[in-house]
Amino acid sequence: MEEREEVKELRNAFYEKYFQDLAEAQSGNKITTYVTGYLPSEILLAMDIFPFYPEAHASVGCAFNPAEEVDKLCRSAEIAGISRDLCAFSTCALGSMHAYPETNGGMPRPTFLISSAYTCGIHVLWWELMQHYYQVPHFIIDGPVLCADYEPRHLEFFISQIKELISFLEEQTKSRLDPDRFRRAIELSESASWYFSEILELRKTIPSPISFRQLTVEMFPIVTFPGAEETTNFYRALYEEVREKAERKIGVAPREEFRLIWDNIPIFHDLDLIDYFESQGMVFVYETFFKEYWSKRLDPAHPFESLAKKYLSGWTNRRLERKIEIIEEAVESHAVDGIVVFQNKGCRAYSTGQLDVAMSLQERKGIPHLIFEGNMADPGGHDRNQVREMVDMFKDVLKSRKAGRKNG
């Protein structure tokens, strides 16, 4: 099925807006901040502050540049004393700053920095290094950890942090957060989340109407600009398209023989791997990364509380037992045949506990797993052929399980 014109137009409209804002930020005409992934950017958009995401910058850089260029960035970071054993988004982004200092690695110079501690404490350490580089103010949104099943005290603490953030922003920008614009941003973000969430729900359909790879690209608006009109409009159109595909049983692969879960962040420098899985009839229908971050809902009637609930319930804030429950539910709801557990050297927070998930699914649900190591944003040591050989072997496991079930 051809992509709908409306989807193309609204995607273009988003990127036009994004690049226009980026250009203004790069020329110093827009208040700009670097933000770590998964914090209340709705507030920033409501205050006309451009939120730039070095993590998204790193992931896009990995996806659209040759591996040699990405490797060069990681090596630049290493030369600057930043170990390649660290978060690969950080080594890419910091490496790009050191490799291309005249343009700060293609990133606009920030007016100030905002990091968050609750999703991943590494963010704050990384932002400290950037504060050292740029010598601008740095605000840390603190928050409780492992509290996705939040209690009132968790929400209270986080809400206090949101309010402190607003005070910081008002001081930095010498302007006030307009309540109407804030409400509107929350409404738009909630709509965008609804559409994104519904898109993910449609993948319960057999065959799945949208691929893991496409989502990796299409997630950019909701990650970077939740609360912008252009974001919501785009996801509405995308949702309608995906819904049509689901109704017409249009899948992403010529044949969908096996349905899989991907657990961890995508491998941005080897998104072709997803295509390879699909070429072998293995389609990803559920990823913890999309479902457990970008489809969280908001309540415009209770903006602070719902922002707290949304941003505290990311995957890395979930306790392991609950993660296992959620994945088991997904196995049932999405008719899953297997799970790919990507042990991501670039993210210890995400990767620790995954082996228990794999073992539990095997024991309790008979779901086979493929476990392999790699790095989400550092191609160093990544052997594409070897990984694809493992995929082939995994397919054999899935086939033999299917045959075993057929024979009773």
Between 269 and 323, name the residue whose CB sits nearer to other proteins. Answer: 323
Between 114 and 283, name the residue whose CB sits nearer to other proteins. Answer: 114
Distance of CA 253 to the CA centre of its chain: 23
Between 147 and 282, name the residue whose CB sits nearer to other proteins. Answer: 147
Instruction: Report the interface residues with other proteins, using CB under 8 A.
Output: 80-83, 85-87, 117, 120-122, 124-126, 128-129, 131-132, 140, 142, 144-147, 153, 157, 160-161, 164, 316, 319-321, 323, 343, 345, 348-356, 359, 373
Cβ contacts of 47 within 8 Å, gap of 6 or more? 169, 173, 175, 177, 178, 181
Between 125 and 390, name the residue whose CB sits nearer to other proteins. Answer: 125
Cβ-defined contacts of 383-388 (< 8 Å, 24+): 384/270, 384/272, 384/273, 387/270, 387/273, 388/273, 388/276
CB 198, min distance to other proteins, A: 30
Q: Which residues pair with 139 in a beta bridge?
A: 114
Beta carbons of 242 and 209 less than 8 angstroms apart: yes
Instruction: For residue 113, give the nearest of 31, 46, 176, 47 by alpha carbon.
Output: 31
Between 88 and 298, name the residue whose CB sits nearer to other proteins. Answer: 88
How far is the C-alpha of 387 from the C-alpha of 383, rounded, in Å? 6
CB 257, min distance to other proteins, A: 30
Between 13 and 390, name the residue whose CB sits nearer to other proteins. Answer: 390
CB 163, min distance to other proteins, A: 9
Between 69 and 142, name the residue whose CB sits nearer to other proteins. Answer: 142
CB 53, min distance to other proteins, A: 19
Between 207 and 374, name the residue whose CB sits nearer to other proteins. Answer: 374
CB 118, min distance to other proteins, A: 8
Cβ-defined contacts of 77-82 (< 8 Å, 24+): 82/129
Token pair 């899948």 is found at 251
Between 300 and 353, name the residue whose CB sits nearer to other proteins. Answer: 353
CB 144, min distance to other proteins, A: 6
CB 378, min distance to other proteins, A: 12
Between 319 and 405, name the residue whose CB sits nearer to other proteins. Answer: 319
CB 95, min distance to other proteins, A: 12
How far is the C-alpha of 130 from the C-alpha of 97, rounded, in Å? 10
CB 319, min distance to other proteins, A: 6
CB 121, min distance to other proteins, A: 6
| Residue 308 burial (CB count, 10 A) | 24
